[in-house]
A and B are shown apart, each in its own frame.
Chain A
Amino acid sequence: MFVNKSMTRKVITGNPEMNLIEARELMKEHQIRHLPIVNEQNRLVGIVTDRDIRSAMPSIVLDDYDSSDERKRLSGIRLENIMTFDPVTVSPMYTIQDALLLIQKTRVGAFPVVDDEKRLIGIISIRDLVRAFINVMGIGEPGTLIGILVDQKVGQMKRIVDAITEERISFGSILVARYWEEEDKRAVFPYLLTNNVARVKKKLQDMGYTLLDPMEWYIDKLPGNE
């Protein structure tokens, strides 16, 4: 769960002397939204985002947009004039959880990954984290999600896992969510790698569990996210 396992290693970079037109073409060509700016020693000095580029460009509704005069003006603007100095960075030994919490806190879409000497070694973006979580949730594999309401007390998960394992069903993942309607409840979401869940659902009900109505599933319910 470390950033260095999920980050993009082949980073497209710019340098402070690069001009706006060059940066725009580079980002377009590689379909990226964040361009880390490095010096000759590959040390990170700043970052340019597609928003920085667009803010520096004339409006596309203007007549002289992309005219030769305008292009000349834009090619005179160097990235050091528009880049963000000292962007938020993470170390390769940050965990995925760190990166997620940092994204939530800073509202930044990608973090350059730097070593102790501030040398750029990768970039981790929301896109990389999404890929990691699709993997963690197991949703790349065929299966069925079920939702179980459980009391918040020790041993519940074991009972559920045992009951499902006895049916010889493999797990893609198990997510646990705070259940918002009753304080002392948890919602457990096993993603089961089978098309055959009718029997196990009945078994869980016979064990006294309540199966949640699928339309009441909220894996993503966060405090303050009303």
Chain B
Amino acid sequence: MRRTGFVYDERFLRHKTGPYHPEIPDRLVAGYKGIQEGALLEHLTMIPAVPARQKWIESVHHVAYILRFEEACLYGMTEFESPDNQMCQESYDIALLAVGGILAAVKAVMEGEIDNAFCPIRPPGHHAEIAKAMGFCYFNNIAIAARYLQQEFGVERVGIIDFDVHHGNGTQHIFEEDSSVFYYSIHEHPSFAFPGTGREFEKGANAGFGYTLNSPMLPGQGDDEFKMLIERDLIPAFATFQPQVILASTGFDGHRDDEMSGINLSTECFSWIMERIMEMGDQYAKGRVISILEGGYSLARLPELIRNHVAILMGR
């Protein structure tokens, strides 16, 4: 049994996205239900979320962008920079809270209070660019967590594994010239899916060349191809890079019952990838794995997917 931290706060449900949006509060409710039904809740260490200090948001995002987002919420605007980004008056505060919760989990892991953590937060983050909201994302949660690890704890090598079905353009761009953060993503091929980046030939730039790795999957390929790509691309890359901490951009939207994609993954495949991540965590990172929720929209599947995910983190 491992000590697994859990960042869950009902205020995450208060980021409202309107009637026709897939990124809805019920996603978290469904995940919570799965954890409850699996009788896992009482074995998790609850990590309270407090709003992140602006200093940490600024470690990734431009000040002008942060203010623009805050103002848009204060004015009561219901979308920000694109109709994809539906929001409400509280969204800015909730986004700060999400980051704050993640940073608290990172701190608890680094200080040895817990072994690993799962952060089912909203809004998600991996599409958010330095100065642009995109694809339901406002602050790049995982990128801020990586900067926090570097600046607060002196971590020299952070490994990010992004298995959301969409490429994490924001995370890639933030770290593409940085050899201290390895960004790996497996996702549906950008010619068929949002956001249109994450092609095989995108490998980082300048000093960061070779520290970005993308494994695009064609529509319809499924579990076998997914597993083959992880074993061919990710496993050897992390064996060389030797990350001291692993951050996971966890997305369940590649599931075959999820309407957002077409790569046909099974429930079992999501357990499989998490087991591989845990093995790498043990091999290179003293078990320090922090999983941060991105996408995943099938309310019918999220309970089992999140239950399995958390059970694997807990070593049950």
Interface residues, chain A, with chain B CB atoms under 8 Å away: 139, 141-145, 167-170, 193-199, 201-202, 213-215
Contact = CB atoms under 8 A, between A and B. Distances in A.
Contacts of B136: 195
Given A143-B195, A144-B194, A194-B194, A215 B219 contact: yes
Contact of B194 (A167, A195, A199, A215): A195
Interface string B144-180: 0000000000000000000000100100000000000
B82 A193 contact: yes
B219 A214 contact: yes
B127 interface: yes
Contacts of A139: 196
Given A193-B82, A198-B22, A198-B259, A213 B194 contact: no
B166 A195 contact: yes
Chain B interface residue count: which class? 20 to 34
Contact of B260 (A193, A198, A202): A198
Contact of A215 (B127, B166, B193, B218): B218
Contacts of B287: none
B36 interface: no
A22 to B, nearest CB: 33
A213 B219 contact: yes
- What is the interface of chain A mostly: helix, strand, loop, or mixed? loop
13 contacts: A143-B194, A143-B196, A169-B83, A194-B82, A194-B194, A195-B127, A195-B134, A195-B136, A195-B194, A195-B195, A214-B219, A214-B262, A215-B220
Contacts of B135: 142, 195
A170 B135 CA distance: 14
A20 to B, nearest CB: 34
- Among A142, A167, A194, A215, the one with the most B-chain Cβ atoms within 10 Å of its Cβ is A142
A144 B253 CA distance: 15
Contact of B84 (A145, A194, A202): A194
A139 B192 CA distance: 11
B214 to A, nearest CB: 15
Given A213-B219, A213-B220, A214-B262, A144 B193 contact: yes
Nearest to B262: A214
Given A194-B82, A196-B22, 11 more contacts: A141-B196, A142-B127, A142-B135, A144-B192, A144-B193, A195-B134, A195-B135, A195-B136, A195-B194, A214-B192, A214-B262
